[in-house]
């Protein structure tokens, strides 16, 4: 009895020590940790065993991705965790990346056409979001277009830009005139309304008519209206070569628009067009870096091809001859008073584009011409190149690939951290089917000009940030599940100038908003994309 009472103080001391070493919080934490380990994580898709490149510049890491509904809900090692996935995708040997975002496309028509709205050519490149309405062409009735896409279904996500050219045409026609104060106010209203209806910004095509008729001051005023609604400014600049104000003059004009309108500016398909400006990529980059250092947000996109894609009228005929529209152009071509001046200026433009052998016809009503250079046509027709071009213009025009860029400039632009990938995909040019895989195959894996994380960022997160597209462009918990899984050994473009509509290879899975649009390399025809609407400033 007595002995037992004697032990009591030492027993109490033991309990006290235990309580200090393992306080109640310790048990609570352990219960929580156990719950985390054993709690079931239900997924629609588990992507396992691949190498993740998340859209930032972070080094590649072997990890797994979990998707539920339209969101990424898990990033990490899945082994040892209680994960139940409806489907598991084996990504061994594969690269897992955010779906690519293309800042410059001509998909407006394809997306509106139920037969082409799947955007298969883009999905097979790993593109899950396209921006369209570039070059000043985007419609100003934005809600109408977005609603139509929503009703009909689209294969990739799609965002719109309102076009300055479309707005100007609505208010001023195709005329070489300047707006009155009221007309300018009307144009500003159309732009502001388009952005409140969901456009992510405005685009200009100052090289093309009618955008070319606008003075810088007009563009600044309209860009202010876009800036107030939180939109960005995207431009096909007035001159990418030596046509009018020159490449550097155009970069300065773009920077001025950004500074005066207080709007982020984005140079589409940045290039040095024609031998006269080859090498100026260095000065262009210097101007952009200086502007960025002064706080103007300037970025650019680029496609990895030495030929641009345009039409023979835009490339060779001066803008004054187009004033008023096509009927007036055709009259001027026939007018014996005007024709000689036209020919002289067109000869200069042809030289700027590296001559008749550098112009390849890719589309024409006259299918005989397709696949031939202007040089080859001239030999058949026994005419001067410009006379032949005028004949083609009179017969409905033609789409062309214009070989006008140097590899040195392409490389230099690509290495810049503010340059993103953009296809500018148009009918007849391989870039519509090959841009993104080509950049990986040629410039990452073969030439090793840039690293894979750098190329992925330039095709995803950088684009989402620039165009202010929320919750896309990275592999991150809570983000939309736009995910691609590709084979680094086989990813490649297959489209050529001769066969431009050849799908790219190497995409094993393409997931759009959590749904599988490319499954084991095959297009599933699911329309999993959504029209994106700008909602916040
Ligand atoms: Zn363009």
59 alpha carbon – ligand 1 mean position (Å):
34
133 alpha carbon – ligand 1 mean position (Å):
10
Using alpha carbons only, how large is the chain's radius of gyration in Å? 28
478 alpha carbon – ligand 1 mean position (Å):
34
* Cα 453 from chain centre: 17
Q: pLDDT tens per residue, the chain (537 residues)?
A: 445 556 666 666 656 666 666 665 656 665 555 555 557 999 999 999 999 999 999 999 999 999 999 999 999 999 999 999 999 999 999 999 999 999 999 999 999 999 999 999 999 999 999 999 999 999 999 999 999 999 999 999 999 999 999 999 999 999 999 999 999 999 999 999 999 999 999 999 999 999 999 999 999 999 999 999 999 999 999 999 999 999 999 999 999 999 999 999 999 999 999 999 999 999 999 999 999 999 999 999 999 999 999 999 999 999 999 999 999 999 999 999 999 999 999 999 999 999 999 999 999 999 999 999 999 999 999 999 999 999 999 999 999 999 999 999 999 999 999 999 999 999 999 999 999 999 999 999 999 999 999 999 999 999 999 999 999 999 999 999 999 999 999 999 999 999 999 999 999 999 999 999 999 999 999 999 999 999 854
Is beta strand 71-76 parallel, antiparallel or unpaired with respect to 51-52? unpaired
479 alpha carbon – ligand 1 mean position (Å):
31
* Cα 51 from chain centre: 24
134 alpha carbon – ligand 1 mean position (Å):
7
DSSP of 474-534: S--TTSB--EEEE-TTT-B----SSSTT---B-EEEEEETTEEEEETTEE-----B-B---
205 alpha carbon – ligand 1 mean position (Å):
7
| pTM listed for this prediction | 0.91
269 alpha carbon – ligand 1 mean position (Å):
7
438 alpha carbon – ligand 1 mean position (Å):
20
525 alpha carbon – ligand 1 mean position (Å):
29
487 alpha carbon – ligand 1 mean position (Å):
31
Structure tokens, 170 = 């609505």
- In the DSSP assignment, the letter for residue 61 is E
Give dist(CA 127, CA 143) in Å, integer: 23
b/e string for 79-112 if b means 16 or more Cβ within 10 A?
A: eebebebeebbebeebbbbbbbbbbbbbbbebbe
Structure tokens, 272 = 């040095």
464 alpha carbon – ligand 1 mean position (Å):
20
30 alpha carbon – ligand 1 mean position (Å):
60
Whole-angstrom CA distances from 512 to 13, 93, 107, 463, 519 are: 63, 22, 17, 17, 11
| Closest-CA residue to 258 (of 338, 303, 201) | 201
157 alpha carbon – ligand 1 mean position (Å):
21
461 alpha carbon – ligand 1 mean position (Å):
22
Q: Strand, coil or helix: what is 105?
A: strand
102 alpha carbon – ligand 1 mean position (Å):
14
Give dist(CA 486, CA 473) in Å, integer: 16
302 alpha carbon – ligand 1 mean position (Å):
11
């Amino acid at each position: 009895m007595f002995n037992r009472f004697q032990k009591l103080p030492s027993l109490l001391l033991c309990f006290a020590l235990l309580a200090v070493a393992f306080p109640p919080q310790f048990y609570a934490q352990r219960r929580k940790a156990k719950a985390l380990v054993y709690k079931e994580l239900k997924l629609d898709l588990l992507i396992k065993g691949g190498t993740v490149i998340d859209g930032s510049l972070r080094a590649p890491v072997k990890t797994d991705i979990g998707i539920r509904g339209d969101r990424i809900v898990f990033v990490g090692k899945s082994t040892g965790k209680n994960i139940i996935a409806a489907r598991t995708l084996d990504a061994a040997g594969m690269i897992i990346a955010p779906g690519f975002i293309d800042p410059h496309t001509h998909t407006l028509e394809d997306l509106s056409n139920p037969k082409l709205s799947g955007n298969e050519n883009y999905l097979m490149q790993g593109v899950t979001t396209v921006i369209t309405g570039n070059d000043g062409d985007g419609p100003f009735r934005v809600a109408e277009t977005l609603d139509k896409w929503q009703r009909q279904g689209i294969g990739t996500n799609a965002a719109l830009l309102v076009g300055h050219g479309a707005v100007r045409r609505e208010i001023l026609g195709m005329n070489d005139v300047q707006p009155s104060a009221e007309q300018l106010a009307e144009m500003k209203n159309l732009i502001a309304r388009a952005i409140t209806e969901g456009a992510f910004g405005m685009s200009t095509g100052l090289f093309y008519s009618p955008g070319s008729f606008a003075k810088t001051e007009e563009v600044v005023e309209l860009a202010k209206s876009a800036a107030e609604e939180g939109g960005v400014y995207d431009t096909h600049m007035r001159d990418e070569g030596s046509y009018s104000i020159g490449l550097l003059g155009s970069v300065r004009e773009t920077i001025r628009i950004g500074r005066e309108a207080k709007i982020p500016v984005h140079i589409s398909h940045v290039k040095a067009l024609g031998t006269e400006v080859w090498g100026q990529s260095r000065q262009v980059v210097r101007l952009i870096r200086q502007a960025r250092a002064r706080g103007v947000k300037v970025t650019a996109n680029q496609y990895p091809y030495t030929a641009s894609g345009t039409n023979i009228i835009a490339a060779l005929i001066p803008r004054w001859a187009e004033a008023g529209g096509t009927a007036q152009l055709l009259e001027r071509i026939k007018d014996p008073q005007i024709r000689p001046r036209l020919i002289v200026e067109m000869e200069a433009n042809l030289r700027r584009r590296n001559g008749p052998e550098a112009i390849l016809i890719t589309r024409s009503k006259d299918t005989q011409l397709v696949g031939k250079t202007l040089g080859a046509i001239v030999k058949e027709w026994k005419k001067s190149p410009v006379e032949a071009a005028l004949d083609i213009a009179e017969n409905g025009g033609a789409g062309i690939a214009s070989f006008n860029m140097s590899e040195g400039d392409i490389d230099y632009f690509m290495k810049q951290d503010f340059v993103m990938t953009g296809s500018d995909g148009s009918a007849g040019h391989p870039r519509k089917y090959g841009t993104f895989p080509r950049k990986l195959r040629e410039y990452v894996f073969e030439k090793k000009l840039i690293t894979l994380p750098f190329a992925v960022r330039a095709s995803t997160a950088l684009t989402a940030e620039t165009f202010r597209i929320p919750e896309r462009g990275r592999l991150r918990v809570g983000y939309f599940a736009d995910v691609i899984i590709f084979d680094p050994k086989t990813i490649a473009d297959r489209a050529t100038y001769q066969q431009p509509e050849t799908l790219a290879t190497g995409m094993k899975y393409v997931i759009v908003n959590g749904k599988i649009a490319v499954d084991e390399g095959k297009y599933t025809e699911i329309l999993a994309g959504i029209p994106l609407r700008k909602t916040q400033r």
